[in-house]
Amino acid sequence: MKNTIGFLFTSLSWWACVLSGKYLSNNSQLLVLGIFVLMSLIGHYLYYVEEKKSFILFYSIALTAGLLGDGLLFYTENFSFAGEKIGLYPTWLMALWLVFPLNFLHSLKKFLNKPLVAILFGIIGGPLAYKAGPAFGILELSENALYFVAIFWALYMGGACLLKSLLATNRPSN
């Protein structure tokens, strides 16, 4: 039940982030509410997760890698963003990256022990998610962007598997 609730919350958060990029980009009150909801979601996971230090480290690295990856794709002009920005990133994308690493606690958890499946999922799922951006009017893709997105997501998902493995082997024994 806990995993189902987590999946539903992160799925709803994904949709909220994407739709807010199109419809709510200039509403700062809703942004504050969204940040509160995201922090509550992260707090929920911190409460339930058993290995808090490993979770915080994994989450921090996955969040940073995601933001850097999207930043690199943006910087190399593979896509451009719509919406109000915080530095380089639109607020909806910052919020999306705050939510995404939480998926590794439930809906993507089984991939972490299957690196090849995770990489394949990244190659297919990453471009499919980014392909939705232009339909919502929040992202413009260059002609070859989806190839670079697939490479990034293959590396991201493979890196998440490696990170999980490293954290598991470096856990102190009881």
Whether 120 maps to a domain, the answer reads: yes
Whether 124 maps to a domain, the answer reads: yes
Mean pLDDT of the chain: 82
pLDDT for the residue numbered 26: 58
Whether 161 maps to a domain, the answer reads: yes
Whether 174 maps to a domain, the answer reads: no
Whether 9 maps to a domain, the answer reads: yes
Q: What confidence category does residue 174 fall into, taking pLDDT thresholds of 50, 70 and 90?
A: very low
* pLDDT, tens digit (0-9, with 9 covering 90-100), for 121-166: 999 999 998 998 888 888 899 999 999 999 999 999 999 999 999 9
Whether 104 maps to a domain, the answer reads: yes
The count of domains in the chain is 1
pLDDT for the residue numbered 128: 93
| 174 contacts: CB under 8 Å, gap ≥ 6 | none
Mean pLDDT value across residues 81-86:
68
Whether 103 maps to a domain, the answer reads: yes
Whether 116 maps to a domain, the answer reads: yes
Longest dimension (CA), the chain: 53
Instruction: Tell me the residue range of the domain where 51 lies.
Output: 2-169
